Amino acid sequence: MQTSRNLGIGIVGCGRIADLQCLGYLDHPAARIVATCDLDGDLAARRRDQWKAERAYTRLDDLLADARVDAVEILTPHDLHADQAVIALEAGKHVSLQKPPTRSLAELDRIAEAARASDRVVRVFENFAHYPPHRKARQLVAEGAIGTPLSVRVKTALGRPSDGWSVPMQSQAWRIDRGRCGGGALTFDHGYHCFHMGQFFFPCEIERVHAFIHWTQLGDGAWLDGPSLVSWKYAGDTPARYGSWETMTSVGMRVRSDYYVSDDRIEVHGSEGILWVNRCTGRLLDEPALVVYRDGETRAFHDLETDWASSFRIGGEDFVACLVEGRQPSQTLGEARKTLAFALAAGLSADQSREVAIAEIENAAPGLSSTCESAAGH
């Protein structure tokens, strides 16, 4: 528990997503960004000045040797996550790790082992879980607003690449390298959000997964995944529960967004009603963010915070709170392992054109049990 001074946060990786990842710390009364680190020294220095930090580094070891840094926010490519998280834990730092946490369960288990040895906190950050319409929807489902939840359907719509955020080419290059990314840019990198949403509203585990993923080669070692269709079955037969997630790219369609040119809609179908979350990253439809249908009546929620950036601010504040209060973070390593296994099962299913059981993925990489840590509410 941190009590003597404000938490010192080190940002590792100062690229595009850092514009949002910083929001939970900049005006926080119990934390401040004290150091930045990036291989691009000019970028690290610009971020240092922008965030009024004290130091800018180009080597992770130098940042980890800084006594002012209590926790690190790791925002680097996926292939670097495991080594960087382990080194940070061994240096006595708490770790917030951008999703997906690793490319494999074995890599994630290495981090879990280092966390146990260091007695430091590791939080896997998945901002969709902090997005206010998602949180309100989860609350309503738990309260029985649509009866017993029976299915979840997620639809990702991607549009014209020239709209929205300007993302440097070097930030895209590793995402379309399947080895470095750990899977596809859409179905693994972005997909971690959607697989987590598949678990977010249901108390039961995912049991089996089936996926179709179309791959297009863009160049030597560069691949784009999509369109795709993933379906899954939840454990238990009474009632039978299923979910699905579809991605579709419409390269000529404008998606209104201040961020990435994609948007995700979610439908949760229950025994007595239906709930829709109508926006997330973008503003594809001019509809209320959250709508519930039950007993012949439609109820819309117009007063929810809907800016996608708010999910990053809330998530950062939650990480600080868990360190100050000495509680578990909003997504523990055990919970993150379940989501990662889900994502890996979808990739394997598409590659081998067959249904894959989650147990097959988990048994292939024994380590941290998916139920060994207490679940913390989002």
pLDDT band of 207, cuts 50, 70, 90 = very high
Does residue 117 lie in a domain region? no
Over residues 22-75, the pLDDT tens digits come to 999 999 999 999 999 999 999 999 999 999 999 999 999 999 999 999 999 999
61 vs 203, residue with greater confidence: 61
pLDDT for the residue numbered 296: 97
Which residue, 30, 291, 277, 266, is CA-closest to 151? 266
pLDDT at residue 78 is higher than 60? yes
Find where tokens 């913390």 sit: 376
CA–CA gap between residue 331 and residue 124 (Å, rounded)? 6
pLDDT for the residue numbered 366: 52
Which residue, 57, 66, 122, is CA-closest to 89? 122
pLDDT for the residue numbered 370: 36
Regarding beta strands 55-57 and 273-277, do their DSSP bridges make them parallel or antiparallel, or are they unpaired? unpaired
Cβ atoms within 10 Å of 352's Cβ, excluding its own: 10
Which residue, 151, 118, 107, 75, is CA-closest to 312? 75
pLDDT for the residue numbered 144: 97
pLDDT band of 10, cuts 50, 70, 90 = very high
Does residue 353 lie in a domain region? no
pLDDT at residue 362 is higher than 90? yes
pLDDT for the residue numbered 93: 98
pLDDT band of 4, cuts 50, 70, 90 = low
pLDDT band of 331, cuts 50, 70, 90 = confident
Q: Are 284 and 255 in contact (CB under 8 A)?
A: yes
Q: Identify the H or E element spanning 206.
A: strand 206-219
Q: Which two tokens stand for residue 291?
A: 């709508």
CA–CA gap between residue 22 and residue 64 (Å, rounded)? 18
CATH number, residue 265? 3.30.360.10
Q: What is the mean pLDDT of the chain?
A: 93
> How far, in whole angstroms, is CA 136 from its chain's centroid?
18
Does residue 203 lie in a domain region? yes
Show the 3-state SS of 97-153: EECCCCCCHHHHHHHHHHHHHHCCCEEEECHHHHCHHHHHHHHHHHCCECECEEEEE
State which residues form the domain around 227: 129-310
pLDDT for the residue numbered 221: 87
Does residue 124 lie in a domain region? no
pLDDT for the residue numbered 376: 28
Does residue 274 lie in a domain region? yes
Count of domains forming the chain: 1
Does residue 306 lie in a domain region? yes
Does residue 358 lie in a domain region? no
Its pTM stands at 0.93
pLDDT for the residue numbered 343: 98
Task: Count how many Cα atoms sit within 13 Å of the Cα of residue 74 in the half-sphere of its side chain.
Answer: 28
